[in-house]
Amino acid sequence: MRISAIGRGSISSFLKLTVDIVWVLACAALGFIWIVTAISLVGMMTGGEHMAIFERIAIAEPRGIARWTLQWSIACVGAMIVCAYLRGVFETLIGGDPFVPENARRLRAIAIVLAVLELVRMTASLLVDLLLMAFGVTGEDGAAHGITISLNLSVWVSVLTLVVLAQVFSEGAAMREEQKMTI
């Protein structure tokens, strides 16, 4: 029994279903993030009174709330955007027609979205640190906050890989169009 990579009932069909599920989960996670943030903020403002039910999911430190909310919100929105583009790619694969110009554009767009999201994540994290330092907010241990910058190399390797794949799909689409013109 041979498993096909493209067409109906193929690996691409399974991956498209997976992408659809991830999109729904990202939407749900975004809602959960903002519920936890709201609970944490209410807990901070009230000094934790009447929050016994939620103390396991609430985040007590301002830096933790800000960073966690920003980073995970950015990740969820990014996942939703990437899933939308991937859905289009997998639809063409299921249809048996992968080398279309739209797929090259979709892969380029995914690369751009990942790069922008990583830059936004890094910038937002830096801004949170700067704001907390400016307002003199301290951690639970009483120490002043410092500036941390984290570089995620796997994201940047993924961006470069997607740029290469976009070019491959673009060349494949051009070759396919040229072949159609040949008699």
Instruction: Map the chain to HEC letters.
Output: CCCCCCCCCCHHHHHHHHHHHHHHHHHHHHHHHHHHHHHHHHHHHCCCCCCHHHCCCCCCCHHHHHHHHHHHHHHHHHHHHHHHHHHHHHHHHHCCCCCCHHHHHHHHHHHHHHHHHHHHHHHHHHHHHHHHHHCCCECCCCCECCCCCCCCHHHHHHHHHHHHHHHHHHHHHHHHHHHHHCC
116: Cβ–Cβ under 8 A, 6 or more apart, which residues?
none
pLDDT at 54 over 60: no
Q: 107: closest CA among 158, 155, 59?
A: 158
For range 56-73, the mean pLDDT: 74
Q: Please state which of the ranges 139-143, 164-168, 173-177 shows the lowest mean pLDDT.
A: 139-143
Whole-model pTM? 0.74
Answer yes or no: is pLDDT of 35 > 70.
Answer: yes
- Six-digit token string for 98: 């992968």
- Check pLDDT > 90 for residue 126: no
Range of the domain at 115: 11-181
pLDDT exceeds cutoff 70 at 53: no
Residue 15's pLDDT is what?
94
Q: Is residue 53 part of a domain?
A: yes
* Residue 103, domain member (yes or no): yes
**71 domain-assigned:** yes
**Given this model, what pLDDT does residue 56 score?**
60
What is the average pLDDT across 125-140? 76
Reported as a pLDDT band with limits 50, 70 and 90, residue 133 is: confident
What amino acid is encoded at 68 in this protein? W
Domain presence at residue 122: yes
Q: Is residue 6 in a domain?
A: no
* 2 within some domain: no
Percent of the chain with pLDDT over 90: 46
- Rounded Cα gap, residues 161 and 172, in angstroms: 16
Domain total in the chain: 1
Looking at residue 166, what is its pLDDT? Answer: 96
Give the pLDDT score at 77. Answer: 92
Return the structure tokens found at 4.
Answer: 């096909």
- 160 compared with 152, residue with greater pLDDT: 160
Residue 3 lies in a domain: no
Of the pLDDT bands very low, low, confident and very high (cuts 50, 70, 90), residue 90 is very high
Range in 24-33, 47-56, 80-89, 109-118 with the lowest mean pLDDT: 47-56
Give whole-number Cα distances, 43 to 17, 55, 56, 70, in Å.
39, 8, 12, 19
Which of 3-7, 52-56, 59-63 tops mean pLDDT? Answer: 3-7
Q: Report which of residues 25 and 55 the model is more confident about.
A: 25
Answer whether residue 18 is part of any domain: yes
